[in-house]
């Protein structure tokens, strides 16, 4: 029993699930996972009709909001977990590679929900994940590489409010758009905040709770507020 569901999912998804239902998985637990994936897959079929392009399986949890899906492009085997929100209307769209997961209650927002200038958008590479409760403010362009792990409650901002004029309310001074780039094979730990204009180099680790205000060299471990180099990998 344990290997058959894994082999079936592997066949339709192109992913290796052959050992996912081994020792410790009783029949009831295995069936509940398969049933949930089936329901998510059905939701994905309806989403596919509205999207710019998609491949493989689309698994869509309950309460997921995807706005302006005509600007949304994904590769194979995309997963949107329960209650996440992806707003796609932007100059460069929202583009995901293969095997990208967006965690529960995460928000991706390039453009104001109530009109205004279009934001730039977001690109996420293959086998990368955006953790639960993350906020990705991609009004400036954000690019996330391959094999990037993002833990819960990470925030990324690609713009800054303008506040130079002390006589004028800051809310009326607008914003300055910038960028954020996270290169391949990085781990961004829980509650980290990455601010506009930052590049995080390949193979780096950002410690939990860090505030990243400047570039991180490749293969670095950084932490603190503001984040500083702890050591190199």
Q: Which residues are catalytic?
A: 161
Q: Which residues of 23-43 are buried (b: 16+ CB within 10 A; e: fewer)?
A: eebeeeebeeeeeebeebbeb
Angle between helices 3-13 and 27-48 (to 10 degrees): 10
**How many other C-beta atoms lie within 10 A of the C-beta of residue 126?**
16
Structural tokens at position 116: 């205004």
Q: Which residues of 149-186 are buried (b: 16+ CB within 10 A; e: fewer)?
A: ebbbbbbbbbbeeeeeeeeeeeeeeeeebbbbbbbbbb
Measure the CA–CA gap between 182 and 146, rounded to whole angstroms. Answer: 9
Partnered with residue 216 across adjacent β-strands are 200
């Amino acid at each position: 029993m344990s290997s058959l569901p894994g082999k079936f999912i592997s066949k339709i998804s192109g992913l290796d699930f052959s050992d996912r239902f081994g020792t410790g998985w009783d029949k009831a637990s295995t069936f509940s996972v398969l049933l949930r994936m089936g329901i998510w897959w059905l939701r994905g079929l309806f989403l596919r009709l509205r999207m710019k392009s998609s491949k493989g399986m689309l698994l869509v949890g309950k309460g997921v909001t995807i706005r302006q899906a005509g600007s949304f492009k994904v590769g194979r085997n995309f997963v949107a977990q329960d209650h996440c929100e992806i707003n796609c209307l932007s100059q460069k769209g929202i583009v995901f590679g293969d095997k990208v997961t967006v965690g529960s209650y995460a928000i991706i927002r390039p453009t104001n929900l109530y009109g205004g200038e279009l934001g730039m958008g977001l690109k996420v590479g293959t086998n990368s994940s955006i953790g639960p409760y993350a906020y990705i403010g991609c009004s400036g362009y954000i690019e996330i590489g391959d094999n990037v792990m993002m833990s819960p409650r990470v925030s990324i901002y690609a713009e800054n409010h303008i506040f130079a004029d002390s006589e004028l309310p800051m809310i009326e001074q607008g914003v300055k758009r910038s960028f954020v780039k996270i290169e391949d094979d990085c781990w961004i730990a829980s509650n980290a905040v990455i601010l506009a204009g930052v590049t995080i180099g390949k193979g780096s680790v950002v410690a939990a709770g860090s505030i990243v205000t400047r570039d991180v060299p490749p293969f670095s471990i950084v932490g603190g507020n503001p984040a500083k180099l702890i050591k190199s990998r």
